[in-house]
Amino acid sequence: MSLAFLLPAGLAAFAALLLPLLLHLARRHEQKHTDFAALRWLRQKPKPRHRIRFDEWPLLLLRLLLLALLALWLARPVLSGMENDAPWVVAVPGVAPTEAAAYATQDNVRLHWLAPGFPQLDEARPADGVPIGSLLRELDATLPAGTALTVLVPATLQGADAQRPLLSRDVTWKVVVGAMRADAAPSSPPPVLAVRHAPGDEAGLRYLRAAAQAWAPASGASSPAITVGTGDQPLPSSKHRLVWLAPGALPAPVRQWISAGGTALLGEKTRIEGAAPATTVAWRDARGNALVESTRIGTGRALRFTRALDPAAMPELLEPTFPHRLRALLSDPAPPPTRVLATDYAPRTGAAPYAAAPRDLQPWLALLVALLVLVERWFATRRQRGVTP
């Protein structure tokens, strides 16, 4: 256990201890001399030398102690080496409480839920779906380096992130009886298509209309799932999916619309001029040939058919899975899965240990200073105050 100061320059405030000393010297009670006639003719003796004396020692000591504590408070003292290295046992929500009861009989074992705030195990069970990996890393950074950690988990975890946690300590990972409720798969509404084509060229529009109508019963919305217009009409909002079937170079307004975060599906005769990022294949046919290519433009995404919307060139238009494949192509990416087997999510060891945070003594000093101020005021304002004779 050691004491340190985060702001050692604050110790210079100890010079203020001279202030109450000077005040008590200046405010000494002076003795009044009274002349007696009978003593006037006596020979005067030399006056004794005066010694430095202070009145009201308790009040002076209180003021000196108060200023000393204020100087320590300004120096921001911290105390290290007081960590509690009692072993921890944490249970993932979903573990049966009886599984952790066996650890309650051991000495100095701390039982907690693996949940935000790490509540004690005798409190109400937290909700499922907690970020298990993030909480393990937070706990590893909070506990002292020598603290043993045991984690009780059910067979299947809900709330895992993309990789196994990497911790700085060995963890006893125990799979026990219990279960976590699986989160329902999020359902996103179907995309709304805004088709823009060249005047007089409506080839392939019926396949897009059929796909949009196939999405409508699932959405239950009264608004149309597709709007059709020529290329000179205003562009839709970024919530829609733009289908640009006009041939030639991609117009600058459309490119800016995509760069601002929009998603557009281009026809096979539409060209993206300029320096475009490398394309990737977003949809392949049964033989592995590309049907749709994907390109990033700014923060948006541009998809482009490699074939004409004609069953002779693209037989996939007549397949019953075409509406579902087109919807998956234009929908936002699904969130990554968070459900994993507990045996596959056991933490690894090898991370750098975290430095233990010292305990801040400023709040305790502030409380002590406040109490001393009250005591000093009571001494300074009481009715009877001692006077040095």
User: Which residues lie below 8 Å from residue 130, measured CB to CB, with a gap of 6+?
Assistant: 92, 93, 114, 115, 116, 159
CA gap 103, 107 in Å, rounded:
9
Does some domain include residue 228?
yes
Does some domain include residue 382?
yes
Q: Which two tokens stand for residue 312?
A: 């002779």
Instruction: With residue 346 as reference, give the H or E element that holds it.
Output: none
Residues 102 and 76 in one domain: no
Does some domain include residue 42?
no
* Residue 284 β-bridge partners: 290
Instruction: With residue 362 as reference, give the H or E element that holds it.
Output: helix 362-381
Count: domains in the chain: 3
DSSP codes of every residue in 112-131: EESSTT--BTTSPPPPS---
Q: Which two tokens stand for residue 77?
A: 């003292």
Q: Which residue has the higher pLDDT, 344 or 78?
A: 344
Residues 111 and 96 in one domain: yes
Residues 201 and 302 in one domain: yes
Residues 244 and 206 in one domain: yes
pLDDT of 23: 72
pLDDT of 387: 47
Residue 319: pLDDT band with limits 50, 70, 90: very high
Q: Which residue has the higher pLDDT, 79 or 87?
A: 87
What mean pLDDT is reported for the chain? 82
Percentage of the chain modeled with pLDDT above 70 = 82
User: How many Å is the Cα radius of gyration of the chain?
Assistant: 40
pLDDT of 361: 82
Length of the chain: 389
Q: Which residue has the higher pLDDT, 79 or 32?
A: 79
CA gap 241, 144 in Å, rounded:
53
With both helix axes pointing from N to C terminus, report the angle between 57-74 and 18-26 in degrees, rounded to the nearest 10: 160
Residues 257 and 291 in one domain: yes
Residue 39: pLDDT band with limits 50, 70, 90: low
Does some domain include residue 259?
yes
pLDDT in tens, 136-167: 999 998 888 888 899 999 998 888 887 889 99
C-alpha dist (Å) from residue 44 to 32, 34, 41: 18, 15, 9
Q: Which residue has the higher pLDDT, 102 or 275?
A: 102
CB 372 within 8 A of CB 65: yes
- Domain range for 221 is 193-330
Terminal-residue alpha carbon distance, the chain: 48
Least trusted range by pLDDT, from 28-32, 107-111, 264-268? 28-32
pLDDT over 50 (residue 327): yes
* Residue 81 β-bridge partners: none
Residues 4 and 63 in one domain: yes
Does some domain include residue 37?
no
Residues 149 and 210 in one domain: no
Residue 305: pLDDT band with limits 50, 70, 90: very high
Q: Which two tokens stand for residue 23?
A: 């005040």
Residues 158 and 215 in one domain: no
Residues 225 and 310 in one domain: yes
CB 204 within 8 A of CB 310: yes
**pTM of the model as a whole:** 0.50
Q: What's the DSSP call for residue 53? A: -
pLDDT in tens, 1-38: 577 777 788 778 888 778 777 776 666 555 566 666 65
Residues 214 and 309 in one domain: yes
pLDDT in tens, 337-374: 788 899 999 999 988 877 666 778 888 889 998 998 89
* Residue 297 β-bridge partners: 300
Largest Cα–Cα separation, the chain: 144
pLDDT of 190: 85
pLDDT in tens, 209-257: 999 888 876 445 555 788 899 988 899 888 899 999 999 999 999 999 9
Which sign does the torsion angle of CA 222, 223, 226, 229 carry?
A: positive
Q: Which two tokens stand for residue 200?
A: 């007089």
Residues 262 and 374 in one domain: no
* Residue 197 β-bridge partners: 230
Mean pLDDT of 281-290: 90
